[in-house]
Structure 1
Amino acid sequence: ALYMGNRTTLKVSSNVSVVMEQMIRLLHYVGLPPEDVDMIHCSGHSMGEVLERAQPKMTQFTGSSGVAELLTKTLEGRIRVEDAGFDWKVLGPDVPTTDGSVAYVAGVCDQDAYACSGQKCSAQSILIAHVNWLETDLLEMMKSRAAQRSLDDLTVGPVLSHTTENLLEHVTKLLKLPGSHLLFGGKELDPNTHNVPACYGAIEPTAVFVPLQSILSSADATRLCTKEIFGPMQVVTSFKDGELNDVLTLLASMDAKLTAAVVSSDPHFLHDVLSQTENGTTYAGLRARTTGAPQNHWFGPAGDPRAAGIGSPGAILSTWSCHREIIHDALLSENDQPPPIS
């Protein structure tokens, strides 16, 4: 917003407001004029009243889909949205033959799901692996990496938007689906060594396996398995040859179309998935990940005219500028005649 010359009013989640204030002070220190940004500390409800009264020319909102819909009505459509991201990763049938390649994919899966304790819109929320991958050490490698995460070095940390009780309750609901089982995690961080307040969450990196047909068995089951949990938690499922259409049905049912990944070197498989899915940013190939767009590429949902982009020059132009044209036509010569009557 600043880069495009806008006078900005900034409001962030109350949980991290003090952190953003320090960021603004850092910008002041390196030369940002103090009058260029106004920052407000308040509740979401209070900010809603400010927006309703002020009716700004443009608002960029990052947050839940429900609040985005409410603000769209309040602001009469003058809004760009970067809302919830339930991000998927599909592992194709062509498993690489080297252990190093499998270890690389496992490491990226771990980083996508659990870096920042899963508190990022680009976090891997569901891993859909062809059964060929289950014959490798992929899941054991993911479990091993997750076990190395610690509160001591903040490779796992407090969850700001859910309590421990909420998170574990979600795990319990997933485990009630037929054929489901816990792959790893599913427990509170050692209560003898952590002092995370009860109003936040503190759980181990968690993965729950749910059979694909159980996920698709009912609308309620699909909704449960595709609910975004802003924390270190993911659903894992698998598919066999002949079940790709079921996978595509699942992907099409998801509303949050932010980022995705298709891990495969098979051009036919890549084409089948990429041509029948829509996400703001999709990574394809053996190195594919869900996280990376905020730093490197367009980062915003697909299929929504309100979609905000974050990060790239094109995203900044799209969100924080508008198309306008000024035509200078001023020089009049002695030979110019009035236009004919028509």
Structure 2
Amino acid sequence: MQRYDMFIDGESRAPATGQWFPTDNPYLGTPWAEIAQGGPSDIDDAVRAAHRALHTGPWADLTASARGALLRRLGDTIAANARRLAETEVRDNGKIFTEMYGQLRYLPEWFAYYGGLADKVEGSVIPIDKKGYFTYTKKEPVGVVAAITPWNSPLLLLAWKIAPALAAGCTVVVKPSEFTSASTLELVRLFHEAGLPPGVVNVVTGFGKDVGAALVEHPLVRKISFTGSDTTGRHINQAAARDFKQVSLELGGKSPNIVFADADLAAAANGAVSGIFAATGQTCIAGSRLLVQESVHDEVVRRVVDLARTARMGDPMDEHTQVGPVTTPAQYAKVLDYVDIARREGAALALGGKSATRPECGNGWFVEPTIFTGVRNSMRIAQEEVFGPVLAVIPFRDEDEAVSLANDSRYGLGAGVWTSDIGRAFRVSDRIRSGTVWVNTYRAVSPLVPFGGVKESGVGRENGIEAITAYLENKSVWINTGAAAGNPFVMR
């Protein structure tokens, strides 16, 4: 099997523990590579390397324009290696190649966008109300950033963090998911070959209790950017508060996809299927609650069931495959547990509800696309994040009830609205408590548009201009140009 070491201070490095652990191919259900099992001393080395790079050496001496040019070169490096990186991600997390390759081909846009923003960060001169002073503000990097990424889209979600962080002048230590570390290690080595100075981006692999906790608690880390579960996010937020680290947390979701009677029902059915069965439902923005107006409920359910039934499952490397395996055995078991929970609570199974036994699924961790009807919003299947190909259909009477059901969740990450009434599109978008609302589409993202959640879906925003400001501190400078000395015991 291929063996992956960590990457610290510009070089591959074996773990101090002297141990490696297997990473599995979800389609085959067997290990395909070994990943370095790091520990606290590896984290300390990586953070100190990042801290040195931040303050000394070539990275610290780069102008903002030079940083921007380097980011654009990193984007070109991704473009040149997109297929190989996508194949690694498919092997590691089981998502279909067509989606992973599409993500990797689009990924350079994050580095182009933030490369362009790097030298557009400006301070300001303040027309101060005191004589004899010149005052101005400037933006400075927040410091060493801990980037902790999940297993569902490792490189896309890493780019959302490191592109703005590097544009701001920060340095980064990445802790990828222990289930999907290989592509991150391959990417950072490519970055080093493309000219990224040593210590600017480091990768320490391993388990949360060992390397994750040590990274979050390290005193030289000044910001933590985390994508993952709300449970882990809560622990990180509490740990960060102890020494006042800044945090960006992109957490879970239970997103409502709302279909009104005046919608294009064919388009809405496509959007519903895309929202939950694309990526095998393993996405924080999965439209896992389908809210359908009563007058078209049966028609929409029929369309969605018919479309989902045609989903082609199998080898995720096959360009014809539409639904791949669940990424980990634990997640596979969790999804099937929620199917049983929904049945016990009285939901009606309209499709799926079991492991996939199709020959083309082999020994992989596959779950049939599953649809429940007769769901009440109080059921666990409607309130808890399943993170798998399971859809809960909930009927509603009118606009007010649709909004009420949509907001009746501890999450607030994404939402979809399907309607031909432009007034309703604006009204409902305004009333839904969610970080993103898609109207007559779903799952669209861009480096230009902020992304993040409200309520228990997180803190802060990724993407857009807001993301680079999250990695910057504002410094105010006062220069005495001739103000007379006054009473030293009185504030001037």
Q: TM-score range by the shorter chain?
A: 0.7 to 0.9
Match for 2:235: what amino acid? L
* Aligned equivalents of 2:444, 2:254: Cα separation in 1: 15
- Matched position secondary structure for 1:75: helix
The equivalent position to 2:377 in structure 1, one of 215, 221, 233, is 215
Query: What amino acid sits opposite 1:131 in the alignment?
Result: E
What is aligned with 1:227? 384
The answer to whether the aligner puts 1:109 opposite 2:272 as a matched pair is yes
Structure 2 contact 308–369 (Cα < 8 Å) conserved: no
Partner Cα separation in structure 1 for residue 374 and residue 475 of structure 2: 51
Q: Name the amino acid aligned to 2:326.
A: V
Identity among equivalent positions (%) equals 22
**Counterpart-to-counterpart distance in 2, 1:170 and 1:70:** 24
Q: Verify the 8 A CA contact 2:411 2:455 in the aligned structure 1.
A: no
Pick one of 174, 186, 194 that aligns with 1:10: 174
- Does the C-alpha gap of structure 1 residues 304 and 324 become closer, same or farther in structure 2, counting only changes over 3 Å? farther
Please give the alpha-carbon distance, in whole angstroms, between the structure 2 residues aligned to 1:103 and 1:306. 33
* Residue from 467, 474, 478 that aligns with 1:315: 467
Aligned to 2:257: 89
Letter in 2 for 1:24: V
AA at the equivalent of 1:33: P
The alpha carbon displacement at 1:295 in A equals 5.1
Aligned residue in 2 for 1:57: 222
Tell me the amino acid that sits aligned with residue 429 of structure 2.
L
Note closer, same or farther for the CA distance 1:139–1:314 as it changes in structure 2 (3 Å cut).
Answer: farther
CA distance in 1, matches of 2:338, 2:326: 14
Give 1:118's match in structure 2, choosing from 281, 286, 293. 281
Distance in structure 2 (CA, Å) of the matches to 1:188 and 1:18: 27
For the 8 Å contact 1:184–1:206, the answer to whether it is kept is: yes
1:72–1:106 Cα change, 3 Å: same
Residue 325 of structure 1, aligned match among 476, 481, 485:
476
Letter in 2 for 1:108: G
1:184/1:26 CA distance change after superposition, 3 Å: farther
Q: Which runs of no fewer than 5 residues in structure 1 stay unpaired? A: 97-101
1:69 to 227, 234, 238: 234
Q: How does 1:253-332 map to 2 (within 5 A)?
A: 253-284=408-439, 287-289=440-442, 291-293=443-445, 297-303=449-455, 307-317=459-469, 319-327=470-478, 329=479, 331-332=481-482
Change (3 A) 1:226 1:294: farther
- The answer on whether the counterparts of 2:252 and 2:457 sit within 8 Å (CA) in structure 1 is no
After TM superposition, the structure 1 stretch with the greater mean CA deviation from structure 2, 41-50 or 25-34, is 25-34
In proportion to residue count, which structure has more strand?
2
Q: 1:133-158, CA deviations, whole angstroms, 9 ceiling, x for partnerless residues? A: 33536632553245233223342112
Per the alignment, residue 21 of structure 1 pairs with 185
- Residue from 275, 278, 290 that aligns with 1:127: 290
What secondary structure does 1:297 align onto? coil
Aligned partner of 1:35 in structure 2 is 199
How many residue pairs align between the two structures? 315
CA drift at 1:254: 1.2
- Report the Cα offset of residue 55 of structure 1: 5.3
Query: Quick one: structure 1 residues 50 and 145, their matched pair in 2 at CA, closer, same or farther if it must change by over 3 Å?
Result: closer
In 2: Cα distance, 1:107 partner to 1:185 partner? 18
Choose between structure 1 and 2: higher helix proportion.
Answer: 2
Who is 1:190 aligned against?
Answer: 357
Q: Which moved more, 1:244-253 or 1:228-237?
A: 244-253
Q: How far, CA to CA, are the matches of 2:417 and 2:285 in structure 1?
A: 14
Aligned residue for 1:325, secondary structure, equals strand
Q: Give the 3-state SS of the residue equivalent to 2:416 in structure 1.
A: strand
**In the aligned structure 2, how far is the partner of 1:283 from the partner of 1:137?**
19
Matched, 1:140 2:293: no
Question: Equivalent residue of 2:463, what SS?
Answer: coil
* Contact map agreement 1:107 1:145 (CA 8 A) in 2: no
Q: 1:41 to 1:108 in 2, by over 3 A?
A: same
* Alpha-carbon separation, structure 2, partners of 1:54 and 1:91: 49
Q: How far did residue 304 of structure 1 move? A: 7.3
SS of 1:248's equivalent in the other structure is helix
Alignment of 1:145-156 (within 5 A): 145-152=308-315, 153=318, 154-156=321-323
User: What is the TM-score with the length of structure 1 in the denominator?
Assistant: 0.81
Q: Secondary structure at the match of 2:179?
A: helix
Over aligned residue pairs, what C-alpha RMSD do you find? 2.7
What is the one-letter code of the residue matched to 1:266? D
1:51-81 deviations in Å (ceiling 9; x for gaps): 2243511101111111111111211152211
Distance of 1:239 and 1:205 partners within structure 2: 23
Q: For 2:194 and 2:296, locate their aligned partners in 1 and report how far apart those are by CA, in whole Å.
A: 49
